[in-house]
Structure 1
Amino acid sequence: MTTLAVVSAGLGQPSSTRLLADRLSAATVEALGGDVAVETIELRDHAHAMVDAALTGFPSGAFRAAVETVTDADGLIAVTPIFNASYSGLFKTFFDVAGRDALDGTPVLLGATGGTERHSLAIDYAMRPLFAYLRASAVPTGVYAAAEDWGGGEGRLAERVSRAAAELAASIDGRPAEAKADPYDEPVPFENLLAQGTRL
């Protein structure tokens, strides 16, 4: 059975971060099309234990089980709110405690939420370098959801969620992601264009 870990660093309850995490996990399960065990970890529930682990160097109790769930999973979905143009401290602390080698080669889908689209690049300039350092394998499409995406923009959000989930499922399965047909794969030969008198 495939195991999928979902890390949500939302602070509220409910939170848009958890909502995005749930949508990404549901789409990934659908894309995998088989038996998938999904374990969602709300970091806010482990905040005190994370501080203790950061100080002592040893996670314990329920928090240790949460770390092991992530490190043992076949794939990971990691979603954080964006504060001050980067991931949250709660999010960073979790992966600091998990350790540098914990995600070596693990396929990861990156997601983030924020108030405006101005922070959408945080996935690429903040989150990707973190997971590259951890030697995880982040899929090409990251999903950022701004406040307007939960209103009239949900169609665009659904498209990004579906594409990213398909990439994660393909990475977990060890197969290349299904690429869209490229209209330039079979161009008209240059000689034919000249023969038709086509202006270039």
Structure 2
Amino acid sequence: MNGIIGKKIGMTSIFDGLGRNIACTVIEAGPCVITQVKTTETDGYNAVQLGFGEAKVKNTSQALQGHYEKAKTGPKRDLVEFRDFDVVEKAIGDLLKVEEVFKEGDLVSAVGTSKGKGFQGVVKRHGFAGVNDATHGQHNRQRAPGSIGAASYPAKVFKGMRMAGRTGGDRIKVKNLRVVKLFPEQNLILVKGAVPGHKGSTVIIEK
């Protein structure tokens, strides 16, 4: 599985050859440093570990500092492992750029952490309609969840009941996003559609 680590910049739109306006997410993808190469002989499986983003030495453990020194690079903010990576001619310490992994027209998956929205009610969290008709004796019930369980049997609320709670902040994977355009000089990749996360958040692009 080939992939790269990036940072979500924001959204824009471009026109295709037919004059259609396509909403795209702009991602600063790489360059990533190969910090470790795992093989079947040494680790039991084949994988490539990539590092992205700069981190301070004082915030990095000594164990990780030694790990980065082996790759002849500084501390990185994010480390992600990709199994069965196809780019086999790369070695530890080499840079991996976006144009070496993707090309325009590829279908990719985007993995990120969705925006955290805090504690929310059922209307916002689960899309409940609420009581739209405020007449007929309704009093402050427009956005209430309603009944959540039965009576003396089963005398409990089942797991998974859609109720109010913390919303967002989950790891989300969006599949089958098309690479619309690459800008190798700026390490930018334009992906059709929305990608989870806020501006500046870390995104993993894989295919």
In the superposition, the TM-score normalised over structure 1's length comes to 0.19
Bigger Rg over Cα: 2
Higher share of residues assigned helix: 1
More relative contact order in 1 or in 2 (CA 8 Å, sep 6+)? Answer: 2
In the superposition, the TM-score normalised over structure 2's length comes to 0.19
Higher share of residues assigned strand: 2
